[in-house]
Homo-oligomer: A and B are copies of this chain.
Amino acid sequence: MTAYLNLRKKFARIATLNEAASVVNWDASTMMPEGGAEARGEQMAVLAGLAHEMLTHPGLAEDLAAAERPNDEWDSVNLDLMKVAHQRASALPGDLVEAVTRASSVCETIWRAARPASDFGMVRDSLAEVVKLTREAAQILGQALGLPAYDALLTGYQRGITAAEVTTIFAGYEAFLRDALPRAEALQAARPAEPLPPGPYPEDVQEKICRQLSEAAGLDFKHARLDRSAHPFCGGTPSDIRITNRYDEADFCAALMGVLHETGHAMYEQNLPKDWRRQLVGEAAGMAAHESQSLIIEMQTVRSDAYLGYLAPVLSEAFGKAISVGALKSRLRHVERSFIRVEADEMTYPAHVILRFRLEQAMIAGDLAVADLPGAWNDGFAALLGITPPDDRRGCLQDIHWHCGLLGYFPTYSLGAMAAAQLMAAARAAVPGLDAGFSRGDLSALLAWLRENVHAHGSRLGFNELLRRATGEALNPKAFEAHLTKRYLS
């Protein structure tokens, strides 16, 4: 067992280095002064380069070749994950890895200025560089893994999913949406909307209530922080998780949903199996699995009748304004064709993802030049939702992802939304009184079920196997469509 035990030590060291990188990355988005960006890009590149060197070290390859299959199931899966990680990392030359990291860091910084200016020209060349390098990497990876280039990116974020499967699932959803959206809009139009009281909702009050609700949902703040950044995210490490949020004094809803979304991510990290900390098998099962955990909180739980009934008086008290359950429903369960993904309702959201999925596939295939992105975006958006973005700020500049090198990531959002619906249906069937708890703001029964059926498994199970054990079947968008039908079409 010497070779495998060596591997465990080596992967723990890599994971610890990656933890440091995660702190440095969080700092770049929350704390770093403007002038630190360039040097930070270099720092991130060196950390990524070192992790890459360690993962591709000949001694590690020798250990992998020599390692006997462990008897323990966790160790056995761990060894498999080590092999794939090594394969993925070895396929890419170190200077390409560093070049991608550096180009992404530069592009992300420019994007931070280009988005508010709605000036795609500012970021075009640096985004083209990111896409060019990412495409190169995807092609090399695909060849090494025997996968199409785009699939090589996709499986890096969620293993066991192919672009072909996603294409089918998304085509089915597009058909569902084409029928369901006009019906939902008609039903909504027939009901009078109840408005929320006008703002201002002071930022510091919002931040305070966000933290309270995050803590009440189950996030342990002895091992967590909540800070501000341009785009909410969950970073850090399982024992020191960092969630971020942004605040708009005119509207508290985005901040509230943002923090509870990130809280779902963060609780997954906090509840990963401690015995497997810093081993691949102890990590979260993938980004679609991760998104299922943020959305089961934000969409399935928080926007349920039961939880909104709890939330209305809590918010009324915090803001000193009469906030009714009806007004929260009008706002948080409002279906609308709109331009910004992160503000989209849960029914139209997958359309935003479908667009990005198709565009990034085309860019990786070389069928779409970055210079043509704004036009392709607007055409595709109009085809899916029947409206055209008036500018790039509300079009192809809205998301950070491509600008920081994340291509192949977007599908995981909607796969996660579908999995969340499937998991919630199973949890409701397995745990009586779940909604009675939500109506008291008590998520503990749901969290206990998620711990046992999702979090505690780490990466031991593939995405579909995880869902099969937890819900009785592999990923199936029907639970999501049933959820939407119940919430918006009845």
A→B interface (CB under 8 Å):
13, 16-17, 19-21, 23-24, 27, 31-36, 38-40, 42-44, 46-47, 50, 220-225, 236-240
How many copies of the polypeptide does the oligomer hold?
Answer: 2
Nearest B-chain residue to A16, judged by Cβ: B46
CB neighbours of A44 from chain B (8 A): 20
Closest approach, in angstroms, between the C-beta of A57 and any C-beta of chain B? 12
Whether A46 and B34, one on each chain, are in contact in the complex, defined by CB atoms closer than 8 angstroms, is: no
A19 vs B38: C-alpha distance when bound (angstroms): 12
Whether A34 and B225, one on each chain, are in contact in the complex, defined by CB atoms closer than 8 angstroms, is: no
Given A20-B47, A46-B16, A39 contacting B237 (CB threshold 8 A): yes
Given A33-B221, A33-B223, A39 contacting B19 (CB threshold 8 A): yes
CB neighbours of A236 from chain B (8 A): 36
Whether A33 and B224, one on each chain, are in contact in the complex, defined by CB atoms closer than 8 angstroms, is: yes
A46 vs B23: C-alpha distance when bound (angstroms): 14
- The CB with the most chain B CB atoms within 10 A, among A19, A21, A36, A220, is that of A36
6 closest cross-chain pairs (CB), A and B: A36-B240, A35-B223, A35-B222, A20-B43, A16-B46, A39-B239
A46 vs B239: C-alpha distance when bound (angstroms): 17
CB neighbours of A21 from chain B (8 A): 20
Whether A33 and B237, one on each chain, are in contact in the complex, defined by CB atoms closer than 8 angstroms, is: no
Whether A222 and B34, one on each chain, are in contact in the complex, defined by CB atoms closer than 8 angstroms, is: yes
CB neighbours of A240 from chain B (8 A): 32-33, 35-36, 39-40
Pairs A–B under 8 Å by Cβ, sample size 23: A16-B42, A17-B43, A17-B47, A19-B39, A19-B42, A20-B21, A20-B24, A24-B24, A27-B27, A31-B31, A32-B240, A33-B223, A33-B225, A35-B220, A35-B222, A35-B223, A35-B239, A36-B236, A36-B237, A39-B238, A39-B240, A40-B240, A50-B50
Q: Give the secondary structure class of A's interface.
A: helix
Closest approach, in angstroms, between the C-beta of A113 and any C-beta of chain B? 14
Since A20-B46, A20-B47, A33-B240 are in contact, a sample of 5 more A-B pairs with Cβ atoms closer than 8 Å, ordered by chain A residue number, is A19-B42, A24-B24, A32-B240, A33-B225, A38-B239
A19 vs B46: C-alpha distance when bound (angstroms): 10
Closest approach, in angstroms, between the C-beta of A35 and any C-beta of chain B? 4
Nearest B-chain residue to A49, judged by Cβ: B13
A222 vs B35: C-alpha distance when bound (angstroms): 5
Nearest B-chain residue to A14, judged by Cβ: B46
CB neighbours of A20 from chain B (8 A): 20-21, 24, 43-44, 46-47
A36 vs B38: C-alpha distance when bound (angstroms): 28
Closest approach, in angstroms, between the C-beta of A360 and any C-beta of chain B? 30
Among B23, B27, B46, B223, the residue within 8 A (CB) of A17 is: B46
CB neighbours of A224 from chain B (8 A): 33
Nearest B-chain residue to A19, judged by Cβ: B43
Nearest B-chain residue to A224, judged by Cβ: B33
A324 vs B238: C-alpha distance when bound (angstroms): 52
Closest approach, in angstroms, between the C-beta of A279 and any C-beta of chain B? 14
A65 vs B371: C-alpha distance when bound (angstroms): 50
CB neighbours of A40 from chain B (8 A): 240
Nearest B-chain residue to A236, judged by Cβ: B36
Nearest B-chain residue to A47, judged by Cβ: B20
- The CB with the most chain B CB atoms within 10 A, among A20, A35, A225, is that of A20
A237 vs B32: C-alpha distance when bound (angstroms): 11
